[in-house]
Copies of this chain bind each other. A is one copy, B any other.
Amino acid sequence: MEISFDCIPCLLKQAVSASRMATNDKNIQEKIIFESLDILSKYNDYCCSPDLARDIHSAVKKHTKVEDPYNEIKQRDIKSAKSVYPALKEFLDQKNNELYWALKISATGNIIDSAISNFIDIKGCALAEAEKDFGVCDIKDFEEKIKNAKTILILGDNSGETVFDKVLIENLAPKNVVYAVRGEPILNDATMSEAIQSGLDECATIISSGCDSPGTILDRCNSEFVELFYNADVVISKGQGNFESLSSCDREVYFLLKAKCGMVAELLEVNVNDYVFKMHTA
C-alpha cells in the first residue's frame, strides 16, 4: 500500500509517544523527533508505511539504547488479554463454535494496539466488540480452501492480540497452523517471546518471519519464512501493518483486521472501524 500523506503525522506522533516510553530525557526525545522529521522528509524512499515505521523506531532504539520500548505495554496487554481468554472461549461456545465467530474473535484482538491507543479497556470492550458483525467477510471462499489445507500460515500482529488468535487456532484444530512473528522487537508487535507467553506454542508452530518492521516486507524476511509464505495452502494476515506491506503481494492472502484509519478503510472499501476478513488474490 502506498504511503498516504496521513501516515506522516501519524508516524511522527508514534515517534513522540515511543520516545517517551523509552526515556524521560527531553534532549534525547528531541533528537528522536529531529531524526524522525528527517526520515519522514525522505518518505518517498520507502516502500510502505511499516518500512518508514521501522526506521523511526530504530531511531528511538538508537538514541535511547532501549531495545524494546514497548516491553511494559506488551506485558500489560498480554496479561489483560489472558484475563479475557476464558470469556472469549465461553462466547465462542455460545456461538456453537462457528468459524465465523472464531475469526471475529481474532479480528477483535486487533483492538489491542497500543500504537493507536494506550488506554483501551480490553476487558470492558472485547466482548461487546466481538458481538459486532464483520463489515466484509469472505468466509465462503475460506471454508472451501481450508477443507483440504494441510498448512495454514497466520501472520501475527500485536502482543495481546496473540491471545485472541489462540482462540481461532484452537477452533481450526486439528489443522496444522504455523504462526509467524516479527524477527525483533518493533512497536508492540509480537516476537517469539510474546507468542510463547500468550500460549501459542500449545496450539501452533511459532516461527520468526525475520522481519524487523511492523509488517511483513518480504524483502526483509528470512528465506525460510518466504518459502513457507509461498507454499502454505492458506495465509491469514492479521492487522494493518501486515496489510499495508502485503496489499499488492503475488499470492492469495486473507486479510483479517479492524480498519483503524481512513486510508486502509478506503483501500479495503469499508468504513473506518469496520472489521474485515477479505480475500486478496494474486
**Chain A contact residues, CB within 8 Å of chain B:** 5-6, 8-10, 12-13, 15-16, 19, 29-30, 33-34, 37-38, 40-41
User: How far is the CB of A106 from the nearest CB of chain B, in Å?
Assistant: 31
- The chain B residue sitting closest to A32, CB to CB, is B5
Query: Which residues of B are found within 8 Å of A5, using beta-carbon distances?
Result: 16, 19, 29-30, 33
Query: Could you list 5 A-B pairs, sorted by A, with CB under 8 Å?
Result: A6-B16, A9-B13, A34-B41, A37-B40, A37-B41
How many Å lie between the Cα of A8 and that of B17 in the bound state?
A: 12
What residues of B have a CB within 8 angstroms of the CB of A40 in the complex? 37
Min C-beta distance of A35 to chain B, whole Å: 10
Stoichiometry (number of copies): 2
Residues of B contacting A8 with CB < 8 Å? 12, 16, 33, 37
Interface residues of chain A: helix, strand, loop or mixed (majority): helix
Q: Which residues of B contact A13 (CB under 8 A)?
A: 6, 9-10
User: Which residue in chain B gives the minimum CB-CB distance to A14?
Assistant: B9
Our pick among B9, B19, B30, B38 for the contact of A12 (Cβ within 8 Å) is B9
Report chain B residues within 8 Å CB of A30.
Answer: 5
Cα A41 to Cα B40 in complex, Å, equals 11
A18 CB to closest chain B CB, in angstroms? 12
Nearest B-chain residue to A16, judged by Cβ: B5
Pick from A5, A13, A40, A41 the residue with the most CB of B within 10 Å: A5
Q: When A and B form their complex, which 9 residue pairs have the shortest distance between CB atoms, in order from nearest?
A: A9-B13, A9-B12, A37-B41, A9-B9, A5-B16, A37-B37, A12-B12, A37-B40, A5-B33
Known contacts A8-B16, A8-B33, then 10 further A-B pairs from the complex at CB < 8 Å, ordered by chain A residue: A5-B29, A5-B33, A6-B13, A8-B12, A8-B37, A9-B9, A9-B13, A12-B12, A37-B37, A37-B40
Complex Cα–Cα for A107 and B209 (A): 53
Nearest Cβ on chain B to A261's Cβ, whole angstroms: 12
